[in-house]
Structure 1
Amino acid sequence: MLDRLQRRLGLQTIPAVFFTSAGTAFLFVVLAIPFQHEVSRSFGLLTAWVAGNLGWFYILSVSALLVFLLGLAVSRYGEIRLGADDSRPDYSNLTWFTMLFAAGIGTILMFWGVAEPISHFGDPPFDGVVADSAGAARDAMTISLYHFGLHTWTIFAMPGLAIGYFAYRHDLPMRISSLFYPILGERAFGPLGWAVDIIAVLGTLLGVATSLGLGTLQLSSGLTYLFGIPATGTIWVLLIVLISGIAATSVALGLDKGVRRLSQLNILLAMLLLGFVLVAGPTVFIAKGMVQSIGDYLDALPWLSFWTESFNGTDWQRRWTLFYWAWTISWAPYVGIFIARISRGRTIREFVFGVLFAPTAFTLIWFGVFGLSAIHVEMSGQIGLAEQVRADPSVAIFAFLQALPWTELASLLSVIIIVIFFTTSSDSASLVIDMLTRREDQPSLVRQRIFWAAAQGVIAATLLLAGGLDALQNVITSLGLPFCVLLVFMAVSLFRALRADYRGYTVNDLVKGRAFPEVEASPSSRQESTYVSEAADRN
């Protein structure tokens, strides 16, 4: 039946994955619109249960995956390439980094670069720390860097590395289900594999919709500051339509013409805004505070990585750390596939160090400039930022820019950067979802990519109208859990495959139990995969 429907609509998909994902998203929207309060309350209860009973699993999983990735990078497997042994990277390091930044964390930095440090400065999470004190400032910066540093990029790097390895070295389809071939065997190309891809599609839709919703709130605040336009549901919907329309145009142009050019433009604009704040703000204070903040972050990283708020009796982690981890995990399939697409030819060591440390270094600089500047504004009494951010985090960057010269120009530049960041996130996600829902031998149809871009906008509007920021946080914290489990199994599958590869065997040999003879083969005797055409036929 689904095959006939696909032919009638003129689509090129895996029917079970495409129609199940689209149908589930449609059902969510249909139920959420008339039953907004009931849906919001249900997800609130589910989030409370997940945080109370399984929050520790989020914390432990992400920290363990960070250790796992670093271990791979420095191990004997670090020299294995994402591709043939003689392959080389498709993109230069600079281009690679700009695309990583724009598609991964750029949207997050614009929203939380001021909002998070100033929130923790005015409302410290640790007992005995006085608000607006030097201790509160140090903790605020440390926690912000923890949330957006190595751990965030671990969540993106894990699926990116696994996808790049299996796709380019073993020619498996670039889908999440392919990563489980060493565990599931042939079942990875049937209903079990389809279920994995459906989870990835839905997670990506909701994760990017959450980002789009946060961006809409922030843009609405910017328009209020610049032009006095009130923040209403109608304005939110119009902004989502605008961003989705731009994203649809970009996604129709493809990766190189659309995402690549927008990414390069946006990194230049972001650097311009960063340089302006550094020069116009308290430059010496920023430099001194940045050095100290990096030291504080590295010093606190070991215990923060395993801190579960066991003895506090509060729900702070649910509102902050667990939300961030679940949010990042939910859109990790899309970011992972996107990173994999631009990382062919790199060694595992280059990939891990590049994806973990280059964006983290930029994050340290970004929070150092914006976060420390905002704290300085609050401490000097120029503007009551903490009070405004406590009421509405989306106003943070625009309220902060009022303390600097050329406020209107800087705010307008911020609005442009936000629009482009969220556009690149949306169109990158649309490209990836299209890949997850079709076979590799099928063409990528523009109308399918546009459909997914529109779906993200509709879900974002639904979540915003159903409860705003609280609804976005509750839905993501609840639904990020299934893919968190998949991330753990993904690491197991990748390690099994790397062991077989290093000993000179294919993943197909691993599945059939031929990969680990008593006498280890020489690494130079690695074979080309022989199961590729069979896998393509099955898909």
Structure 2
Amino acid sequence: MAIDNGNGPTTGEISTEDLLWEPPERSRADLKPKTDRIVFGVAAVLSIAFLVWGVVNKDSLKGISAGALQALMHNGGWVFVLAASVFVVFALWLAFSRYGNIRLGRDDEEPEFRTVSWISMMFGAGMGIGMVFYGVGEPLGHFLTSPPGTEGASTGAAVGHAMSTTLFHWTLHPWAIYAVVGLAIAYGTFRRGRGQLISAAFTPLIGERHANGALGRLIDVFALFATLFGTAASLGLGTLQIAEGLRQIGWIGEPTEPVLLAIIGVLLLCFLASAVSGVAKGIQWLSNTNLVLALAVLVFLLATGATVFVFNLIPTSLGAYFQDFFANAGRTADTAKGAEEWLSGWTIFYWAWWISWSPFVGMFIARISRGRTIREFVGGVILVPSALSLVWFAVMGGNALFLQMNGTDLSAAGDTEAQLFGLLKEFPAFTFVALVVMVLIGIFFITGADSASIIMGTMSQRGAIQPQRPITVFWGLMMGGVAATMMLAGGSDALSGLQTLTIIVAAPFTLILLLLCVALVRDLRRDPMVLRSAKAEEVVTAAVVAGAQDHDGDFQLEISAAEDPSAPEGSGDGAPEGAGRA
């Protein structure tokens, strides 16, 4: 029997097993790690080939990647723009639909972590090298060079456009992307008992045989490759900013390629020390230290900077965000002159970056969200980090905008990575605070690389929660190598190299995530909670109608076997008189 649950009819017969089915207590992710030689081998060979290409012929890599980016932006930039908004609408729809009550685990399962701890860990995922790198440079950049379509605005309006564009890049859209991936993994792992893999989430769309076969492995290779480049891009940004900080305090001269490679090497050595030690308490201590340092920097800038201006900027930024939302969401290459180049450096780079990070962050938030309902998951994953981003950029960017409007030309400090230190020079104890910021970036990399390499190890070992250490170390080293190659491919503009290759690698994975949404809906429509609700609604509605017609509204409901229409009349197989019939 097909049932229409209000979201379209489910397909196939609904059996007793469907209605009484309970999620398993253990999933395939709990099994002993076992390397998938095809997924790991193909991804490793492709990664090593990329490194060799970058070392042997850097100019060729640079030229081909630049041409590919131009073609992709001209013909497919709209796909990134549209897909990011689709993920926002999809995530919010899931939260407010009847699927929102489905629990990521057994129906009676309590959340694995207390809400405060859950939010704290989400804060750790929401903060990162990127927010430190762009905290000053992005609001200031949009203020000085107006986004396409906002040229000629007054000073007050320019501030609003700068903050709305920044928040557009750092709030709902990225976290909706993470929420979709995290939800698909958490639902499949904790509710359906599957492995902790992107391919496993495609089971309702392509079937278990294909999900565990060649097609599933192809999906996992794309996910692994995208994660590698996304995390390498973050390492590259951190390297650029640490190098600039060392230059600003006078410890090194102009950052050269050997200097950048040396910084990556030191960061990788720190990562290896943490990965090989396997001391969970040490990593936890580093994470907690990083949160304290980030909050300390934020409070310091708020207390000693333009405090009133920053507080006023928070509601102004929020209002500007909603006012400019559709203009920002609809900006494409044909919006205005120069829009294509602007998008490749800002919006589309961000969407590609978030998409390439989505397997990593999605798997992380999936792991800490067992026992949450879908509504709680989406609300927490989207709203908490978005609120933190609002505060972060209001403090960092707000102080920069205040100084810029009052005679201090921060843009003269240099490129994006230099503007943060240009801001800090206007505050007391510059050298000390600059060193704190560099330590902050370094710890962000160590903890992020440790988590990302574990996630890549998980994808290499069939979804195992605790992958083998040699696999995680290998991916950590590859992360450093790819970051170095991406930066060197940019030549004198290392940031451009990071952005170009991130967009190119993320393009095919964008289509995979769109199909993931379809697979998740198919899974949810066959969830036992949804089927029971639909069955109850159907049966009760039929019983109430029958009772009103046959007994003038004075009736009671009883449970009995459904009437068999093929049974001969008077055989006794029908429902008792007065019972609501299904």
Normalising by the residue count of structure 2, what TM-score does the alignment of the two structures yield? Answer: 0.82
Find the partner of 2:527 among 501, 518, 524. Answer: 501
Aligned residue in 1 for 2:244: 221
Structure 1 Cα separation of the partners of residues 465 and 91 of structure 2: 33
Going from structure 1 to structure 2, the CA distance change for 1:485 and 1:260 (only over 3 Å counts) comes to farther
Is 1:352 aligned to residue 352 of structure 2?
Answer: no
Query: Structure 1 residue 287 and structure 2 residue 308: aligned?
Result: no
**Residue of structure 2 equivalent to 1:102:** 124
Q: Does 1:237 align with 2:266?
A: no
Matched residues in 1 for 2:279 and 2:380: separation? 21
Q: 1:270 and 2:276 equivalent?
A: no
CA separation of 1:31 and 1:469: change in aligned 2, threshold 3 A? same
- Tell me the distance in 1 between the aligned counterparts of 2:54 and 2:454: 26
Amino acid aligned to 1:103: A
1:388 to 410, 413, 416: 413
Give yes or no for the alignment of 1:160 onto 2:182: yes
Per the alignment, residue 363 of structure 2 pairs with 337
Instruction: Pick from 453, 459, 467 the counterpart of residue 476 of structure 2.
Output: 453
State yes or no: 1:188 paired with 2:211: yes
| Shift in Å, 1:361 | 0.1
Contact 2:276 2:469 in 1 (8 A): yes
Summarize the Cα distance change of 1:255–1:171 in structure 2 as closer, same or farther, 3 Å threshold.
farther
What letter is aligned with 1:30?
V
> Where do residues 343-422 of structure 1 align in structure 2 (5 Å cutoff)?
343-382=369-408, 384-389=409-414, 392-422=415-445
* Alpha-carbon spacing, 1:295–1:254, altered in 2? closer, same or farther (3 Å): farther
Query: Structure 1 488/258 Cα, relative in aligned 2: closer, same or farther at 3 Å?
Result: farther
Question: How far apart are 1:518 and its partner, in Å?
Answer: 12
Offset at residue 313 of structure 1 (A): 3.2
User: Which residue in the other structure is 1:320 paired with?
Assistant: 346
Cα distance in 2 for partners of 1:100, 1:422 equals 17
Give a deviation string over 1:390-430, Cα, whole Å, max 9, x none: xx211121111011112112111111111111222211110
**Cα-to-partner distance string for 1:86-142 (whole Å, 9 max, x where unaligned):** 222222333323332333442211000101011111111234634893322221111
Secondary structure at 2:473 match in 1: helix
Map of 2:320 onto structure 1: 296
Equivalent residue, structure 1, for 2:501: 475
- Cα deviation 1:415-463 (Å, max 9, x = unaligned): 1111111222211110000000113569622121111111101111112
Question: Structure 1 residues 146 and 442, CA, compared in 2 at 3 Å: closer, same or farther?
Answer: closer
Aligned to 1:135: 157
Structure 1 residue runs of 5 or longer lacking an equivalent are 1-10, 507-515, 523-539
TM superposition shift of 1:44: 0.9
Instruction: Write the distance in 1 (CA, Å) between the matches of 2:412 and 2:442.
Output: 26
More helix by share: 1
Q: Which residue of 2 aligns with 1:170?
A: 192
Q: 1:131 to 1:27 in 2, by over 3 A?
A: farther
Q: List structure 1 runs of 4+ shifted beyond 3 angstroms.
A: 251-261, 440-443, 502-506, 516-522
Looking at structure 2, the residues matched to 470 and 311 of structure 1 have their Cα atoms a distance apart, in angstroms, of: 22
> Are 2:220 and 1:197 equivalent residues in the alignment?
yes
Given that 2:84 and 2:173 are in contact with CA atoms closer than 8 Å, whether structure 1 keeps it comes out as: yes
* 1:58 to 2:80 alignment: yes
Structure 1 residue 119 and structure 2 residue 119: aligned? no
Match of 1:511 in 2: none
2 CA distance for matches of 1:437 and 1:320?
Answer: 32
Q: What secondary structure sits across from 2:500 in the alignment? A: helix
Distance in 1 of aligned mates of 2:539 and 2:140: 56
Q: Given the superposition, is the C-alpha separation of residues 499 and 330 from structure 1 closer, same or farther in structure 2, using an over 3 Å criterion?
A: same
CA displacement, residues 60-101 of structure 1 (integer Å, 9 cap, x when unaligned) = 111111111111111111111111112222223333233323
Supply the distance in 1 between the matched residues of 2:34 and 2:245 (Cα, whole angstroms). Answer: 40
Change in CA separation of 1:254 and 1:54 when aligned onto 2, cut-off 3 Å: farther
- Normalised by the length of structure 1, the TM-score is 0.88
Residues 177-223 of structure 1 show CA distances to partners (whole Å, capped at 9, x for unaligned) of: 00100011010001110000000110011111111001100010111
Query: Following the alignment from structure 2 to structure 1, what is the Cα–Cα distance between the partners of residues 467 and 150?
Result: 56
Letter in 1 for 2:392: W
The answer for unaligned runs of 5 or more in structure 2 is 1-32, 541-582
The CA distance in 2 between the partners of 1:505 and 1:296, in whole Å, is: 43
Partner letter of residue 39 of structure 1? L
Alignment-mate amino acid for residue 450 of structure 1: V
- 2: CA distance, partners of 1:299 / 1:450: 46
Distance (Å, rounded) in 2 between the aligned partners of 1:443 and 1:355: 24
Alignment partners' CA distance in 1, 2:269 and 2:138: 30
Rounded Cα–Cα distance in structure 2 between residues aligned with 1:345 and 1:87 = 5
Matches within 5 A, 1:36-51: 36-51=58-73
Alignment CA distance shift 1:104-1:200 (3 Å): farther
Question: Distance in 2 between the 1:18 and 1:58 partners?
Answer: 28
- Given the superposition, is the C-alpha separation of residues 12 and 500 from structure 1 closer, same or farther in structure 2, using an over 3 Å criterion? closer
Measure how far apart 1:342 and its partner are.
Answer: 1.3
TM-superposed CA distance for 1:263, in Å, is: 2.4
* Structure with bigger gyration radius: 2
The verdict on how the C-alpha distance between 1:373 and 1:519 changes in structure 2, with shifts beyond 3 A counting, is: closer
Q: Closer, same or farther in 2 for the Cα pair 1:420/1:501, shift >3 Å?
A: same
